[in-house]
Copies of this chain bind each other. A is one copy, B any other.
Amino acid sequence: MSHTTKNKAALLGRVRRLKGQMEAVERALEAEAPCGEILNLVASVRGAINGLMGELVEDHIRMHVVDPDTETDKVRSQGAADLIEALRKYLK
């Protein structure tokens, strides 16, 4: 099972909202909306992409590499927990 399967519905919802945000950028460009508005829309899309990437990476570590909550090897468990914590700080 893919890690994306587990939270598939939640991730799909997130991706569809992102697609909707891209469509808002498209409509704003077509309507020649004020530039500041377009810049803000694109900055929001970028924030949402970073959030999605962070969630996918964390899911991936837990499902396919080492899940710190269930791993019995203490070094690996701590290593995975430290990795997730650092990436949360970094991928935002």
Copies in the complex: 4
A78 proximity list for chain B (CB < 8 A): 36, 64
Who on chain B is nearest to A87 by CB? Answer: B57
Q: What distance in Å separates the Cβ of A47 from its nearest Cβ neighbour in chain B?
A: 8
Docked-complex contact A64 and B56, CB < 8 angstroms:
no
A9 to B: closest C-beta gap in Å: 10
- A8 contacts B29, C-beta separation under 8 Å: yes
A35-B60, A38-B56, A79-B64 known; A46 vs B43 contact (CB < 8 Å): no
Known: A36-B86, A64-B83. 7 other contacts (CB 8 A): A1-B32, A35-B56, A36-B82, A39-B53, A57-B86, A64-B78, A66-B76
